[in-house]
Structure 1
Amino acid sequence: MFQLTIRDDLSEVIDYTSPNVPIRTVEGTLLHFPNKAAVCHWHSEVECIIALEGEMHYFVNEQVYRLAQGTGIVVNANRLHFGYAVNDRDCKFLVLLLHPSLLSGNAYLESHYINPLLYDANSDAILLSGEVAWHRQALHMIATLFQLGQQQPAHYEFQISIQFATLWLLLYEHTVAQYGSFQGTSAPSNHLKEMIGYIQKHYPKKISLHDIASAGLMSRSKCCRLFQQTLHQTPIEYLLHYRIQKSLSLLADDHLAITAIAEACGFNGASYYTEVFRKIMGISPSAYRKSRAL
């Protein structure tokens, strides 16, 4: 199952596929996430996604992109992002993470080719379709990198380094080489990030809308508008979904009672936890636990 481990600052804990190069390759499905939506997060790796079956929405720094089957997206490093379902339908996808350190080692190349794209505020995300020739080329390179990371043939470490550099040059040629590099802030809204961080840090405790809004230094009405516009959820909906997400790993421990899990995840009683769990996951916590044991 595809799982995300998120720190209090919203950064993801990355476990690399290879012990020798900073690459991660995972195949996943939105069905494994509560409400078919991943948790908002960021990391220092460049992320490449290809939708294999179905489609999904992809949120990157307050912009939402639609990934149809066979299309992909490159998410630049340190951008807040997550994927979620279109019309509650599942989507199968591959994820490729590559750390920019694979491209470094030469000061001139870093200053002229790597950093201009890495920190370009207009290149938070690059959507790749099958209708443009260079997009198809990029998608093929991503698929090749994914296979190298999965299969790890002879000399795969060097092949990954070469292939990533080739992909990066292709992206560079069609972005900052043509339009310039805008070195403005590419960070997501600090207010939104602070509020999400507050939720993810304090979810086991009692949290009110006032608490969330205060973390972002704004009114409750503005807080609700910002969440709805960017995450397509109310702050309380995001809180409940995150609590359910955190409860899934606890359900894997058969020795933990449902009541204890509910309390550990911030729910006021097992019955309310079960009600919310059933609404989001479609089954009860007990049924979910049994399904994992099969």
Structure 2
Amino acid sequence: MVEKIEEASPMRLLEFDPTALFHPELAKRYVTPYLNTEKSIHMIKPERGHQSIIQTIERAVQHLSADGPLALMDATLQCTVIWRYWIQQEGEVMKNENKRESLRLMLAYIESHLEYKPTLARIATAGNVSRSECCRLFTTFGNTSPLAYVQVKRMDRAATLLMDSIESVADIANRLSYSSVSHFVQTFKAHHSITPLAYRKQYQRKRAE
């Protein structure tokens, strides 16, 4: 079925029953497993990666609107190609979900191991990925590197400890596994633009006001 979205719009709604496209044995393998979610293919602008499927959809619409003796067969063939694209996209979604789950595991690992200075190898292991894949995931989803993210989170934790505890700067540096107090102070200042002691005094002053 082809239907206009609006009378003045060039957009069309194309609907078909995928089980009618295949032999029952093929439908059992390539249709039934993919019918458990409601979704449709929406492409508003012809991006490079979608150009071929857009053309296929346009051909299917043209064939369904034609009166030729083979029009229905030609449209059916095009719809089969569209369905193939559909189930391929399901695979891509699953891969992305697996990647997000790996990233979630790595972020949780970092959060619970900030005081032990997480290494790239241990972060990757937590996500069940290689070190190179670990770096790709952080770059793709967070526009940062794993170790840069660790540094930010450790500095955030340091700021929280300075505000919520009475531990000395040296004790906080030691708790966060910094090699020396001076290294901790330099890193904190580079991140927060203020020394740890000044940060604590600033917070205490604001709280007192």
TM-score (norm. length: structure 1): 0.36
The structure where helix makes up a greater share of residues is 2
TM-score (norm. length: structure 2): 0.49
Bigger relative contact order, structure 1 or 2 (CA pairs below 8 A, ≥6 apart): 1
Computing the radius of gyration over CA atoms, which structure comes out larger, 1 or 2?
A: 2
